[in-house]
Chains A and B, each alone.
Chain A
Amino acid sequence: MKCFIGIDLGSTTTKAVMMDSDGEILGRGITNSRSNYDTASQVSKLEAVVSARLELCHRALSAVPAMHDMVDDLLAALERNFRLELFLNMLEDLKETCLHNAADLRHAEISDQLATALNETFERMKTQLSKLFASGVERKSDFFRDLAGSVYMNVSEEVAEEAKLPFDVLINIYDKSIIETENRPPAEDLVSTFARALERVMDEQDNLPVESQLIRDLVKENLEIELEETYVVGTGYGRVRLPFPKEHIRSEILCHGLGAHLMYPNTRTVLDIGGQDTKGIQIDDQGIVVNFQMNDRCAAGCGRYLGYIADEMNIGLHELGPIAMESTKAVRINSTCTVFAGAELRDRLAMGEKRSDILAGLHRAIVLRAISIISRSGGVTSEFTFTGGVAKNEAAVRELRQLIKENYGDVTINIDPDSIYTGALGAAEFARRAVEA
């Protein structure tokens, strides 16, 4: 079947959306941009293909009336097991890479002990990490680097202590190896990985309402459908680094505008806060951009600002929003300069302010800057859509809702749970129109 793919190469994450000829979304994929856009683009595309395969299976199985009530659970199990398979493959790759790097001449005297320690570390990691893919477990991140990294730190420290090996050597080996592993383009033999995952799922199932062969056949049939890459459009900061011909590249401003229009056709103003850009975009009733403003050469107050603050506070990026939501008092943070904000943060902490209140103030500071960009682009006159990574942060959303209300009154504000894919969605639609229109 014909497939149209949009890839949004952001400074922090790379997103892909796959669409069919009717403009229906087949699949979405996301990965960290890892300063290698080529690999990031391949990985996100692969992720989109995986989710497209699952979507196709979902469509096929839903058509069997007896299956109706269990399709969702069955496919969730299939996805979990599939991801586990992929994850274990990557973990094996990481282990081999670590062992290879441990054999480096610099560690000649302890290379045997290192190899033993690494084998032990990865054995324990495998046990711990596999649990993350059990039913009902929520993973803090979907990125291999995040999941493997935090467990490696803990486990290798234990192992190093037991084996009386220098911990920093194990860390160095990991740091070098994770980059190599991440930048290796993924193997694309999805079908056999899916097949293995399906067998695991079928083993877990009892009381199936239909013959298990029917499920196997339907899944297999859908795995065999050719997903033709009919047209690919790239957008985002990394677009110029890809070997795309010029007509396959669109500015992310246009893509965000069109993507937001597809999600919410009445949208006239779009705010996108990404890793290093904040954009205020005005669109017409066709999703065509009529005006935009964005931050200038200084990226203060963008997504990376929150990343820096999270690092300063030694907490995860995803924890910032929930902590700020506990705030009971407004603390004013004046600086959106990332470096100064760090200093202001420490000052406030020293003065005895609560962490949650300071964080709420920091979120407000970002949103204030965004509001200024929106007003320069022409303000909010009608329906408003918030997109980009920061739209996932509930504290930023709360501040934005309040400030939009104060400045522009009661306007409809749309925030889609999949808003991070808005740019990729617009790009996919551009790809579809390039062929179908």
Chain B
Amino acid sequence: MAIPNQTEVIKDSSMLLQKSMIADNYDELTNTQETGKKISSTFVPGNLNELVMCFDMLNNLPEINAINNGMRKKSGAMVMQAEKHGHSEDVCTYVKADIGSMSRGNIAPNGKPMPSPDLLLLSYTGCFTFMKWFELLRHEYGCETAMLHVPYEGDGIITQNMRDYVVKQIKEVVIPALERVSGVKFDIDRLRENLTNSAKAEDDFVWVLESAKNKPSPIDAYFGGVYYIGPIFTAFRGTDKAVDYYQLLRKEIEQRIAEGKGPITPEGDMKDERYRLVVEGPPNWTNFREFWKMFYEDGAVVVASTYTKVGGVYDLGFRHDPTNPIETLADYCLGCYTNRNLSQRVDMLEKYVNEYQADGLLINSIKSCNSFSAGQLLMMQEVEKRTGKPGAFIETDLVDPRYFSAANVKNRLESYFQMIEQKRQGVRSAA
């Protein structure tokens, strides 16, 4: 199926800024031989970027590399390469894309090879596969590995014990490892400064997410949302650049609201908002534009999504707090979306459907991600029951192109949109 010509894709200035930020970061990562900087590899959920920066280290995120390779249509071959090495078809495809990329020279988007990490900083936040993934990487790189074990919010609350447990690990395991690898002494004031920056960016970020309560929504909080979370979920949280980015983004969105505009899409502004959806689950990356088009060409806009909370649930009130620097890092790790239990996730989805005046909940169930998928159908049924709004279920994958069936996804989406339309007419004729 044809996707819009990549060169003609329409972008806002915040998107261009982000693009250059990411490019600069890859340049820094691939230049460490000259600069002598050390690299820490870590995951998006529960990443300790503010802390890592205190040691002049760079943050490399293998998930983001896999996403990058997925969007650039390179992940399919990498996944198959990993399968050739004995990884089964059911294993998380981020892992396989990463492993496959290693055996193909680990080339960054700028065409240069990625250097090996100096530290594997594993913050296990709601995903058991993360642990196994870094075990494989440790085997490959033989570098120092610090594991931050984050207890699951099984009862839906963060207890003082849980917080203390994480704080103790940060103090006794993570910080010493960072000092050892970098040769830089920990300075808590530097951490406070970074955290102050984080909180500033987080305020603007939340404002942007909540702008989707407007009608029409000026943003798409899923397909557009993955751009908006970029800096704050990755190597930029705590930097001045991220603060600037979110200020710029906020101005852009303010402008859109003033002009009564809908969200930006690769083909320009979305004109007619016909359906407002809440989406649960990560997007598919290999056919991202094709997938997005299925929404915007039918006038469907995503007004809230849970995927944009995997790197922090800021809209429910959490902010990085410079006055309690270590405790705030612990709370951040504990509160990420994937570390929340099913009933907390259901509550969140219910709240989104109501507060964002959505027509219903759509679940994109990811074939190779059980952390997300387990229990999703029950969540959907519960949200349907509580809100009275129809739900729908589609199935794709993260970065394995073999698991994206365009005709099947489109069929389900069209059925869902028409179902919403039919329900509205039913309500109107009954009234």
Contacts and interface: CB of A to CB of B under 8 A. Distances in A.
Interface of A: 237, 250-254, 277, 284, 286, 288-297, 376, 378
Q: How big is the B interface, by class?
A: 20 to 34
Contacts of A253: 411, 415, 419
A288 B423 contact: yes
Contact of B393 (A252, A286, A293, A297): A293
A378 B418 contact: no
B422 A254 contact: yes
B319 to A, nearest CB: 39
Q: Which of B391, B405, B408, B423 has the most CB of A within 10 A?
A: B408
Contact of B405 (A297, A376, A378): A297
Query: Which applies to chain B's interface (DSSP): helix, strand, loop or mixed?
Result: helix
A118 to B, nearest CB: 40
Given A237-B407, A254-B422, A286-B426, A291 B384 contact: yes
Contact of A288 (B404, B407, B422): B422
Contacts of A378: 381
Given A297-B405, A378-B381, A288 B426 contact: yes
Interface in B394-431: 395, 403-405, 407-408, 411-412, 414-415, 418-419, 422-423, 426
A435 to B, nearest CB: 15
Given A286-B426, A293-B393, A254 B419 contact: yes
A293 B363 CA distance: 12
Given A291-B390, A376-B377, A297 B404 contact: yes
A254 B384 contact: no
B390 A290 contact: yes
Contacts of A376: 377, 393
A310 to B, nearest CB: 25
- What 10 A-B pairs are tightest by C-beta distance, nearest first? A297-B405, A251-B415, A253-B415, A296-B395, A289-B419, A251-B414, A251-B418, A288-B422, A297-B408, A254-B418
Contacts of A288: 419, 422-423, 426
Interface in B363-401: 367, 377, 381, 384, 390-393, 395
B391 A291 contact: yes
A251 B403 CA distance: 22
A240 to B, nearest CB: 8
Given A253-B415, A290-B390, A292-B412, 4 more contacts: A251-B411, A294-B411, A296-B367, A297-B403
A368 to B, nearest CB: 18
Given A288-B422, A288-B423, A291-B390, A297 B395 contact: yes
Contact of A254 (B377, B404, B408, B415): B415
A377 to B, nearest CB: 9
Nearest to B420: A289
B251 to A, nearest CB: 36
Nearest to A296: B395
A97 B7 CA distance: 48
Nearest to B409: A297
Contacts of B419: 251, 253-254, 288-290, 292
Nearest to A295: B408
